[in-house]
Structure 1
Amino acid sequence: MSYLDSENPRRGALSRLGRAMRHFPGRAGWVAGLVAVGLLASTSLARVEPGNVGIRVNNIAGGVSPDSLGVGWYLAPPGTHIYEYPVFTRTYTWTANPTEQSPIDESFTFQDKNGLSLSADVAVSYHVDPARAAILFQRYRTDMDQIIAGPLRNAIRNAIVERAAQLGVEQIYGDHKAELIQTAQKRVEAFFAPVGLQVEQVYWAGNIVVPRQVLEQINAKIANEQAALAAQANVATAKADAEARVAKAQGDAKAIQVEAEAIRTNPEIVKLRAVEKWDGKLPTYSGSGPVPFLGVQ
């Protein structure tokens, strides 16, 4: 039996052993029983923890069970080992910080298209497809920690190195930073999906480390570009203001010209304008003189 529902798998095995011994009477039965007890004593128990799936491997015969083991206790006879793979999301970070997951520097190093050396902390989120867990073991023949440290890390690093070699440092540090890691993620996803390792996300776990002198040059260039953009904006604003004033002056001049032409061709417009502005009161004069609005009845 590959799986035991009871809390004590050994008790069940001993019960079956007792029933088997009754089929071998006399001394032969006792010998067979002692051999079986010896084998049972050397058999260990293994437990598949919640959130994981188990893969039974016979290290003697080299066989891998095609069926995944769910959560529970299992007998592991001599030469048998049960590997556990996570079916829930786990995250690992390759970082230069010795106080995190590893005491050694695990950060990624790569180069831009000009050969400038860069480095960065990179993280990955992943889980294993239970239906393909046996395929994953058959491919790499090791536990999850070793897959992370070896095949998974190498695949991510190679993808980053390949794409970074097509970009300049300013692009990697600037507008292509997100595109670089996303391209690496897509390649790694496609590589591991057929064997059951589901790569959910690959992302930068910090800033990309650039040599100090290069970083100062990048920052200076960015500052100059921003200043140039600001100056261009000021010029554009001033030009727009000047054009607006010119347009207004041209409009005013055109209006005056039109009005003058109208007055020249029709003198009555002057009287009409005066009437429009008149408040209804006749002006008072000291002395004699002509009264405005001649012709007003």
Structure 2
Amino acid sequence: MFAGVAALALAASSFARVEPGNVGIRVNNIAGGVSPHSLGVGWYFAPPGTHIYEYPVFTRYYTWTSSDTEQSPIDESFSFQDKNGLSLKADVAVSYHVDPTRASILFQRYRTSMDEIIAGPLRNAIRNAIVERAAQLGVEQIYGDHKAELIQTAQQRVQQFFAPVGLQIEQVYWAGNIVVPQQVLNQINAKIANEQAALAAQANVATAKADAEARVAKAEGDAKAIQVEAQAIRTNPEIVKMRAVEKWNGQLPTYSGPGPMPFIGVQ
């Protein structure tokens, strides 16, 4: 009876299941052999000494963060320096999946689980790429206009490094703000405020100049119009009578003095 139960237990333990969304790699821990063929979803015979590792073929995410309430109770955020040696920190995230046709190559390279690859080789590769590029930039560039370029450069380098072994890095991105020492942050914010104030002042000057030029142009235009009108009147006195007719309301004046009546000469 006992022998039968033991036999059933041994038989049950000799099978392993590859879960949906994963690909399996059969490894003989005794002989050290790795199957070159990936295993799809399902149950597989795995006698003692054989282990089936699972790698995800769908998109998975991981975030290295300083928060102790997320994926790890310890601070996993990335530390790096700018070109002047100023220490910075940031939370970084990655999305990835494994190419099922290259899963065995990935295992043969690192011979460990996916979680350990993420915690070790992948983290180190991303950190090194960020450190290398950040060392070429100043803190104002890292915190400002080169922030996106820095993480994109790291992503490209990591993608090129892992693609040949089947680990497809979809995206590497900042998972929060880059942490800058408060004193430096105050200086950066003050500089930005001064630059914005200067731009606003330049805009005000430009507006005032444009308004002044518009007023000068209008005055010059009015003066030229008056000169043209005066010249026309000098060369053609009848214009005065024409203007008077244009303004006349059709009624004769109620009082007439000894002088001539207006519009006498008008037909």
Q: What TM-score do you get using the length of structure 1 for normalisation?
A: 0.83
What is the aligned counterpart of 1:98 among 68, 71, 83? 68
Q: 1:43 to 1:291 in 2, by over 3 A?
A: closer
> Matches of 2:84 and 2:15 in 1, distance apart?
56
The 3 A distance-change label for structure 1 pair 41 and 292 is closer
Counterpart check, 1:262 vs 2:249: no
Q: Deviations over 1:75-98 (max 9, x none)?
A: 212221111101111111111111
2:128 counterpart letter in structure 1: N
2:96 match: 126
Secondary structure of 2:26 counterpart: strand
Structure 2 residue identity aligned to 1:244: A
What RMSD, in angstroms, separates the aligned Cα atoms of the two structures?
A: 1.7
- SS of the residue corresponding to residue 43 of structure 2 reads strand
Partner of residue 39, structure 2: 69
Q: 1:264 to 1:41 in 2, by over 3 A?
A: closer
- In the other structure, the counterpart of 1:207 is 177
Cα–Cα, structure 1 residues 65 and 284, in superposed 2: closer, same or farther, change >3 Å? same
Offset of residue 289 of structure 1: 2.3
Q: Deviations over 1:238-275 (max 9, x none)?
A: 11111111111111001101111111111111112112
Q: Which deviates further from its counterpart, 209-218 or 282-291?
A: 282-291
Aligned to 2:112: 142
Counterpart CA distance in 2 for 1:246 and 1:272 is 31
1:138-287 residue pairs with structure 2 within 5 A? 138-287=108-257
Structure with the greater relative contact order (CA < 8 A, sep ≥ 6): 1 or 2? 2
Kindly provide the amino acid, as one letter, of the partner of residue 154 in structure 1.
Answer: N
**What's 1:78 paired with?**
48
8 A Cα contact 1:95 1:122, kept in partner: yes
Structure 1: runs of 5 or more not aligned: 1-36
**CA deviation map 1:15-54 (0-9, x unaligned):** xxxxxxxxxxxxxxxxxxxxxx79x669622111111110
Q: Unmatched 5+ residue regions in structure 2?
A: 1-6
* Runs of 4+ off more than 3 Å: 40-43
C-alpha contact 1:43 1:75 (8 A) present in aligned 2: no
2: CA distance, partners of 1:213 / 1:176: 20
Structure having the higher Rg = 1
Q: How far apart in 1 are the matches of 2:257 and 2:59?
A: 106
Q: Aligned AA for 2:121?
A: P
TM-score by length of 2: 0.93
Separation of aligned partners in 2, 1:43 and 1:64: 20
